Amino acid sequence: MTTITRAPATRAPALDLDARLALTSLAMDERLALAGAAVDVNSAHIAVDPLPEITIPQLPQTAVPAPYSTPLAALLHRAQARLMADGWTRECLVDEAGRRCPIGAIRREAASRWEADDACVLLLEAIQRDFTDDTIPSWNSRQTSPAPVLLCLGRAAELAHNRSI
């Protein structure tokens, strides 16, 4: 009887976590490259038209979400947004370029003349807290930028909101 002697089996040293992760990463990279090539081959016959240009419609300015729930406060907020969108002028209600003064913005956003008048009264009160004996047009014509006008419209909206009107 013959006996065969084999060399004792040697076990490969155990790999630590970093080595196993590196090997798995290499295997995954190879599989992803193979899958990408398969997608290219399988979709080569498909004719692709260029995507049509997608345009997002502009929302009307009346759809500007107002942080106020009261009607006059919301109106004054919309007038402020209207001035920011259309631009500000100090010479007239609306100029040729579409820029508006505060009264013009309020009138544009108001649902009625009475609502516009009430909003203008609140705006005048907000102006006269800092500038006594002024009217809206005289105060507006002395401004050098739209920043104080927008600030006073915001203050008037806060007044209306605090009064729940």
Read off the DSSP letter of residue 106.
Answer: H
The pLDDT assigned to 9 comes to 63
Instruction: Find how far residue 95's CA is from the centre of its chain.
Output: 28
Sequence-ordered alpha helix ranges (H) in the chain: 17-42, 71-86, 102-109, 113-128, 136-142, 147-163
Distance CA 76, CA 120 (A): 9
Q: Compute the distance between CA of residue 37 and CA of residue 30 in angstroms, rounded to an integer.
A: 11
Instruction: Return d(Cα 73, Cα 153) in angstroms, integer.
Output: 9
Mean pLDDT across the chain, nearest whole number?
86
Residues 77-136: pLDDT tens digits? 999 999 999 999 998 999 999 999 999 999 999 999 999 999 999 999 999 998 877 899
pLDDT digits (tens, 9 = 90+) for 15-37: 888 888 999 999 999 999 999 88
